[in-house]
Amino acid sequence: MDSIWPEAPALRRPRILRQGWRDLTFLHWSVDPSEVANFFPPGVAPDTFEGRTYVGLVPFRMVDTGLAHGPAVPYWGTFLETNIRLYSVDTSGRRGVVFLSLDADRLAVVAAARTVFGLPYRWARMTHVADGNHHTYTSTVRWPGVQAASTIGVRTGQPLEPGPLEHFLTARWGLHTRRARRTWYLPNEHPPWSLHTAELVRFDDQGLLASVGLMGLTGPPNHVMYSPGVPAEFGLPFAAPGTPARP
């Protein structure tokens, strides 16, 4: 299994996409791996830290989205997103994340990401308000058959020196996804995270976690932190080892 390093491994060329991730709040719940194992694509399993795995809920601002070279794409380039994610490892030991949902307030982005990458994007009405060291994020999903909303408020604190758990939760250099009957890995690269402590001052979950099948996740998160953000780039996706095409 690959070691967890805060510095990204070199990203193979060509690079296909760049993004800026800003004002991220990380909420994490510690769970038994068996509770979420059914969410992972073939050839991928829950990654663990001291015998536990984690569910992440991450609201943030996306900025400057565009191709690897050239200007940001007008309208598509900047939007709000809230994702629910799990922590994955495949048969080769490559670590990543598995997204249960990625809610965004740009319908065109939702349609493109679902079509090209097979990612579970959903259209939502969203806001982000920053007032000094207070950040408030709201989301109301506008997706057929889904009634879900959330409000998250945090007070950010001092810079956080990341330890092994923080590296486990953030040093993820790709994502695993199921597309065209194969499990794929989409690699990314970005600078090491600048992290801060954060206090959760409001968490109103109106069915957001339940909307992705996490009905039992009802208590407060076990871990909260904030980051002003990083720039990121993505390489070409490739089939994860040991995951042949299936009907």
Residue 65 in contact with residue 46, Cβ under 8 Å? no
Calpha distance 128→59 (Å, rounded): 9
Give residue 72's pLDDT.
60
Is-contact 126 135, C-beta < 8 A?
A: no
Query: Contact, 198 vs 226, CB < 8 A?
Result: yes
Distance of alpha carbon 137 from alpha carbon 120, whole angstroms: 20
pLDDT value of residue 5: 81
Backbone angles phi, psi at 67, to 5 degrees: -65, 165
Tens digits of per-residue pLDDT, 72-93? 666 667 999 999 999 999 999 9
For residue range 116-149, what is the model confidence (pLDDT) as tens digits? 888 999 999 999 999 999 999 999 999 999 999 9
Q: Tens digit of pLDDT for each residue in 159-213?
A: 999 999 999 999 999 999 998 889 999 999 999 999 999 999 999 999 999 999 9
Burial of residue 161 (CB within 10 Å: 0-12, 13-18, 19+) is exposed
Q: What is the pLDDT of residues 213-226, one digit of tens each?
A: 999 898 899 999 99
DSSP code of residue 55: E
At 79 the pLDDT is 94
Q: Tokens representing 148?
A: 């879900």
Question: Rounded distance, CA 61 to CA 54, Å?
Answer: 22
| 105 SS3 class | coil
Domain architecture of the chain: domains with CATH: 15-239 (2.40.400.10)
pLDDT for the residue 12: 85
Cα separation, 106 vs 90, in Å, equals 31
Which backbone phi and psi does 172 adopt, to 5 degrees? -120, 115
Give me 126's structure tokens.
């969203």
- Burial of 106-115, coded b for 16+ CB within 10 Å and e otherwise, reads beebbeebee
- Map 209-233 to HEC letters: CHHHCCCCCCCCCCEEEEEEEEEEE
Cβ(203)–Cβ(27) under 8 Å? yes
